[in-house]
Each structure stands twice: as structure tokens, then as C-alpha cells.
Amino acid sequence: MISPIIEVENLVKVYPGGTRAVDGISFTVEPGELLGFLGPNGAGKTTTIRILATLLAATSGTARVAGFDVTTQAADVRRRLGLAMQTPTLDAFATGRENIELIGRMHRVGRAELKRRTDELLELMGLTDVARKLAGTYSGGMRRRLDLACALVHRPRVLILDEPTEGLDPQSRIALWEELERISRDGTTMLLTTHYMEEADRLCNRVAIIDNGRIVVDGTPANLKAGIGADSVTLQLEASGSEDMARLHEEVRGLLAGFESLESVTPEPFGVRLAIRDAGRAIPELMRRLDRNGHDVHVIGLAVGRPSLDDVFVKYTGRRIRTEAADQPLILGW
Amino acid sequence: MIGDFFYEAWYLSLRTLRRFFRVPANWIGIIFFPLIQLFVFSQLFKDIIQLPGFRSSGSGSYLAYLAPGQIAFTAFFAVAWSGSAILVEYRNGYMDKLRATPIFRVSILVGELAPLFIESAIMAGGILLLSVLLGATIKTGLIGAALILVLSGLFGMAWAGTSFVPALLTKSEQATGTLSLVFFPIAFMSTAFVPPALMPGWLQTVNSWNPITFLIEAIRPLMVSGYDWAAIGKALIAIAVLGLVLQSATLWAFRRLTA
């Protein structure tokens, strides 16, 4: 039996001042898995990750990485862990190569292996040409890749990434996704946090939706979406004004009464949004019902949407994920 | 175990030195003020050397009298804001990156402090060289010059605590250069500009406890007369006491910050 590589049980973190950032989180990650923490800023993702990376002490609960306890066996955990935080942290006055080599040395990678591994990572991350330039001159995407190279230099068994594509342009984001997919295929277990739906959907074997310091649901992206059940069908209707539209909403409700595939009708300013099971098969019947004689419901646009992780998130948390830039806590000295 | 510590501290120190020397503004900023003082004061107060109190110092010119004090000023400027680098890396997460590797936590601090010996010594060497170019001498030659650099380096490393302690305690960049500035009153009261014979009695008493005076009075004979081992010994003790007090406080503040 293969034991999980990350085991977290009933983890709680209460910050001085009383904020319960992590409020009883439990989960396991199997070797080779890629688990995504999906949640809005302030949900407790980063706090959980910092506890796993031995950077922060938990208030209660236990966490084990590769079989070692993060509090009592921190050094053993650190040897097996690669970490890249939300903003790339690099030595701006060191070159790309020097950045990787320093972290490698701190992990006691041997001289010959360090040279080989550094060359390999620079090549892999497309940084060979700029390896001798100061990291302070790198673009955002290059910094991310160099940061990732630093996290991989000692061939960690577990890679923890906090918002790995935050602040990247779409092209760099897709390039980084491909890189992460390749690292995952090579057998490295990964835990990443994100508040981008498509990122979680595309990369992760398993997604845990985390909100207010708790995991509200977890499963494969496909299962989570299947749990939503219905597809969403949006109908745009022709109306002469908002009162007319309100009348049309009622007409549609009447016309669709008894339609067995229908789960709900939501009025919208432009028409209606319907939740319909197996929309592909049900649409002909839907159109027949709306086209009944003696009514003036004119459909001028129709869109069918498969459930997305967005819908999953809304279902379990009751709201949409915020997509604005990460809120940074204000640090005040005196 | 101890080998691990030295390995880590060595590579982290190399990184700190690289960071220092790759930015020319660093060393220009350090040399600038002592050089101005050396150049302008040696002209402005040229004739002050005629006063009887100066004779016992053995300096042939006011420039020669002024140079040891300006070397001490240079060692100070080399470390006056030295606590800010560790603070920046605490803030931007680089310290976390290092802490997530299997190293001794204290290696991070030593990797910042130990290089200050080299930085202060080299910067003091720059001013020593410039003062020789302006007309000062080093009676004890290269060995004496090396001793001057070692004394300056040690003093710099010890004094750095005045920047690290407020930096680590307040986590504020503005604080890093506040406590270290007490160097100015202490240095102006020292024998950097005027020999004790010309000072009022209370100031002479102060100077029998002034670490900067001990440093300057150890450097001066090396430049103008010969080895004064008693003075060198006193300077080393003064620096050791200063270093022990300030760096214990630094270590305490560092542990508090990274707990």
C-alpha cells in the first residue's frame, strides 16, 4: 500500500488578533498527484502552504510531508520540498545561474550534480541565453521560471506552488502550465493554489475548493462539474422594454411548465437563463414548446454552456470567486 | 554539524559580498563623506597643527592627524544602513526561501554580518590609500596597513549591530539608520579631530570610555610612528565588548523576528 505523501489532519491557524485563517483543514495527497487549492484571496490557501513548508507554526492539528512531521521534523521535510511563493523571490544582484546554484548548495547538492542540474534547468526553463545576466533584469515570466528552477534544483519529491501564474500574461501562463504538466508527468507530487478557474481545470487531477479556512468540497474537476448536473441555456428574447421583458419571463415559465428536463428558470435583463439536464438532447423540445401558437416569445439568441468550475464554486460557496489582483496585507513598522 | 554551518555561512556571505560590490553606488556613497572631510578639513584647519597639544600625536600635518579618524568614519559608513538588506529580504520573501531549505537559521544572519568585515576593511583601505595620495604616510608599511584594515573591519562588523537591532525589531527601513547615527556625536567627541590635551576635562573623561577613540588611537601610531601594541590591544578589547553587546542584541532580535 502506498501511503499518502502529504497528510494534513484538522489543521488550525489562528493569528494573533483572533483571525482564524485556517479552520480545521484535513486532506491527503497521493504520490504523483497534482492537487489544486481553489479559493478567493484570504481563503487560507497561503497560510496552509506556509505551514506545510515549515515556515509557520500551526495553532493545532498535524501535517506530515513525505512521512515527516512539519513541526518536529522540519529539516527532513525541507530536504524533500520545493517551494515557490506567490511573488518570485530571487536575488536580484545574482545571475540566473547563481540564483539556482545558491539554493542548490543550501540543499547540499554535490558540486558535479549541481553543475549538471543547473545547466539542465536553465535549458528546460529557456533561460540558457540569459543565465549570466542579473536576475533583477529579468521579465516577469523569466522570473517565474527561474524561481521554479530554484525550487526544483534538489529534485524535491513534493513541489508546493503558491499562485504560480499570478501576474503573468496569457502566453507566459500557458507556457508555464505546459512546464508544470511536464514536471507532474515526471512523477513529482504537486500542491498548488490558484484563484484562476481555468488553471485548476486544466492542471489539477484533483481540486479542493477552500473558503473561509475550510475545504468545502474536493474531487476531480470532471466529478465536481458533473455534480452540478444541469447545463446552462441562455435565451435572449425580443422585448420592447423592461415591463415587456417581465411579462415575457412569466410567459416562458408558463410555456415550460411540465418540461421534465428543466431544473430552474432565472430571469435576466436580456431574457432568461435555464438550467436544463442534457441540454444537447432537450433543445429541440425546448424550442417546440416556446414556439406554441398564440404567444409572442421570440428567441433571438441562444447559448449553451457546460458546467464550469465557476458554477461549482458558486454552488458550494454561494458567490463568485473574486478575480481582482491579490490583496496584499499592509505591513506596518513603526 | 559545525562544518555545515561554515559551509552555509560561506556561500551566503559570498552572495552578500557580490550584492555589495556589484552596485557602485554602495562604495561611492561610503567613501564620499570621509573623503570630503579629509580633503576640506585638512585645508580649512591646516594651521591648527601648530597648537602645542598636537605635538605628542606625532602627526606632521593636520591631514596626517585627520586620516585615522576618517578611516573610522569610513568603517561606520560601510555599515550605517547595513540592517536594511536583511529587512528587504524578510519583506520580499527571499528569507523564507532560504528558511525553507535545510540550513541553520542563524546562517542567514551570519551570512549578512560576516561580509561586513570585508566591506568595512576594503572601504577603509580605500580612504587609507586616498589619504596617502593626499600626503599622509604609513610608517609601519604594508603590515601596518593590513592591521589598520583588520581593526576597521572588526569595528564595522561590531557597529553594524546598531543598524541591525532597530531594523529587526521595528521591521522598518526608516529605522535602520537611526540608532547607528549615534556614531556622529561619539565620533565628534573622539580624538578624530582634536587631541585630548586640547579638550575640556569632562570630554577627556568621556574619551577614556569612547570606543571610537580607542580605534583611532590604535590606527594613528601605525600611520605616524610605529607599532603601539598597548593601543592595539585596548582597541581590540573595546571592539570586542562593543561587538559582544550589540551582536548579542542582534541575534536576539533576529530570533524574535524569525520565530
Q: Which residue of B has its CA nearest to A153?
A: B101
| Angle in degrees, 0-180, between the axes of helices B2-21 and B105-134, rounded to the nearest 10 | 50
What ipTM is given for this predicted complex? 0.90
Of A193, A226, A259, the residue at which a domain comes to its end is A226
Q: Does B255 touch chain A (CB under 8 A)?
A: no
Contact B208, B228 (CB under 8 A): no
Q: For residue A205, give its domain range.
A: 6-226
Chain A residues whose CB is inside 8 A of the B170 CB are: 333-334
Confidence of residue B60 (pLDDT cuts 50, 70, 90): confident
- C-alpha distances (whole Å) from A213 to each of A40, A47, A194, A316, B185 are 11, 9, 15, 14, 53
What is the percent of chain B with per-residue pLDDT over 70, rounded to a whole number?
A: 100
In this structure, the answer to whether residues A28 and A125 fall within a common structural domain is yes
pLDDT over 50 (residue A324) = no
As a whole number of angstroms, the distance between CA A222 and CA B163 comes to: 56
pLDDT over 80 (residue A293) = no
Q: Inspect the interface and report whether the beta carbons of A89 and B91 lie closer than 8 Å.
A: no
Q: Which residue of B has its CA nearest to A89?
A: B94
The CATH number of residue A144's host domain is 3.40.50.300
Q: Inspect the interface and report whether the beta carbons of A333 and B171 lie closer than 8 Å.
A: yes
Q: Inspect the interface and report whether the beta carbons of A87 and B93 lie closer than 8 Å.
A: yes
In single-letter form, the type of residue at position A6 comes to I
Confidence of residue A322 (pLDDT cuts 50, 70, 90): low
In single-letter form, the type of residue at position A105 comes to R
Residue A213 falls inside a structural domain: yes
Q: Inspect the interface and report whether the beta carbons of B97 and A89 lie closer than 8 Å.
A: yes
φ, ψ at A70 (rounded to 5°): -70, -20
pLDDT over 90 (residue A283) = no
As a whole number of angstroms, the distance between CA B212 and CA B76 comes to: 10
Confidence of residue B154 (pLDDT cuts 50, 70, 90): very high
Q: Does B205 touch chain A (CB under 8 A)?
A: no
Mean pLDDT of chain B: 93
Chain A residues whose CB is inside 8 A of the B99 CB are: 54-55
Number of domains in chain B: 1
In this structure, the answer to whether residues A52 and A119 fall within a common structural domain is yes
In this structure, the answer to whether residues A73 and A96 fall within a common structural domain is yes
In this structure, the answer to whether residues A129 and A190 fall within a common structural domain is yes
pLDDT computed for residue A200 by the predictor? 87
Greatest distance between any 2 Cα atoms in chain A? 84
In this structure, the answer to whether residues A245 and A217 fall within a common structural domain is no
Q: For residue B196, give its domain range.
A: 2-258
- State the smallest CA–CA distance between residue A55 and chain B in angstroms: 7
DSSP state of A267: E
Q: Does A107 touch chain B (CB under 8 A)?
A: yes
Q: Does B15 touch chain A (CB under 8 A)?
A: yes
pLDDT over 80 (residue A1) = no
pLDDT over 50 (residue A328) = no
Mean pLDDT of A53-64: 95
Nearest Cα to B252, choosing from B157, B159, B160, B164? B164
Q: How many residues does chain B have?
A: 259
Q: Which residue of B has its CA nearest to A101?
A: B11
Q: Does B171 touch chain A (CB under 8 A)?
A: yes
Number of domains in chain A: 2
Q: pTM above the 0.90 mark? A: no
In this structure, the answer to whether residues A143 and A276 fall within a common structural domain is no
As a whole number of angstroms, the distance between CA A96 and CA A123 comes to: 12
- State the smallest CA–CA distance between residue A314 and chain B in angstroms: 33
